[in-house]
Structure 1
Amino acid sequence: MARPKKRRKIYYVPNIKLFGPLDNDTPDEDCIILSFEELESLRLMDLEGLDQVECAERMMVARSTFQRIYTEAKKKVADSLVNGRILRIEGGNYIINECTAKCEKCGEVWKAATGNLISNERCPRCGSREFSCIKDEEKGQCRGCGRKHGRCL
């Protein structure tokens, strides 16, 4: 019996999840599905410029697993660009990184998504965008992402 797949940690979910040719003659069933963890591998490696070890640590997977995810993501993007196929971002086996946030205006505490998702976060009580993640006093770092700063960006 195969062991269950480990969920990969991601820090970004895009607002736009469909990409493709402007002359959209492609049938919908011919689209390519890029999972959220494949997109995250491209973002970490190509946009943030991290090496494979750092990317694997962020996603909480082995380096070899990260390499497989990244290679598959590149293949799908290349297929979409070269063959003019629609690329749809959906699904996968992931968890979104969260931190416990505290509003600097009203003191409200809630679970906030971190990474690029944090730009969409607002305090649920007062609507303020001025908040920071609560640090673990013992370790001096964020409880959710483990980074040693006030905002998980």
Structure 2
Amino acid sequence: MPRPVKWRRVQFFPENNYFVPLGKRKCELQEIVLKIEELEAMRLKDIEKLNQEQCAEKMMVSRQTFQNIIDGARRKVTQALTEGKAIKIEGGNYTINVCTLRCLNCGNAFEINYENNKRECPKCGSIELTCVRKENFCDKDCSRKNKEI
């Protein structure tokens, strides 16, 4: 039985998630799906210019896992560029590490980064909070968001 996939931390989501070669219509093309964490790996390495260890740390994975992610991402992008395929960015196994909480005292809804240990309402200071999206993805510390394909 294979090990479960470790969640990858992602801090960037693209505004545009579909790219088509100029002069081609979407219906004529084959698509390559680039996962959210693959795009994040390329962003950290190629745009932020971090070294492999720093990238792996930011994504909360091992260096080897980071290398596997970025190798797969680059292979997909290269294939799309050389073979004239569309790139669709979606899915994957990632966490955004953000939770939307609602104060049970005043009803204020607000987002927190789960790494922030300060869990209190910014409006009234109450610690009586509940997760707004609990039924969708909340785990112990609202640290996972499942976007498996």
Match of 2:14 in 1: 14
What TM-score, normalized to structure 2? 0.66
Aligned partner of 1:62: which letter? S
Match of 1:72 in 2: 72
Match of 1:125 in 2: none
2:47 is aligned with 1:47: yes
Structure-1 separation of matches of 2:53 and 2:99: 23
Match of 2:81 in 1: 81
Match of 2:30 in 1: 30
What TM-score, normalized to structure 1? 0.64
Structure-2 separation of matches of 1:16 and 1:27: 18
Aligned Cα root-mean-square deviation (Å): 3.0
Structure-2 separation of matches of 1:15 and 1:37: 15
The answer as to whether partners of 1:26 and 1:85 remain within 8 angstroms in 2 is no
Structure-1 separation of matches of 2:41 and 2:28: 25
Distance 1:93 1:47, change over 3 A: same
Post-superposition CA distance 1:61-110 (Å, at most 9, x none): 0000000000111111111111111000000000113278xxxxxxx772
For structure 2, the residue ranges without an aligned partner over 5 or more in a row are 101-107, 119-141, 143-149
How far the C-alpha of 1:29 sits from its partner, in A, is 6.7
Structure-2 separation of matches of 1:53 and 1:85: 32
Distance 1:57 1:86, change over 3 A: same
Distance 1:112 1:80, change over 3 A: farther
For structure 1, the residue ranges without an aligned partner over 5 or more in a row are 101-107, 115-132, 137-143, 145-153
The answer as to whether partners of 1:9 and 1:97 remain within 8 angstroms in 2 is yes
The answer as to whether partners of 1:99 and 1:134 remain within 8 angstroms in 2 is no
Structure-1 separation of matches of 2:88 and 2:116: 35
Post-superposition CA distance 1:99-134 (Å, at most 9, x none): 78xxxxxxx7721579xxxxxxxxxxxxxxxxxx96
Q: Calculate percent identity across the aligned residue pairs.
A: 42
Structure-1 separation of matches of 2:38 and 2:78: 13
Structure-2 separation of matches of 1:5 and 1:59: 13
Count of paired positions: 116
Aligned partner of 2:45: which letter? M
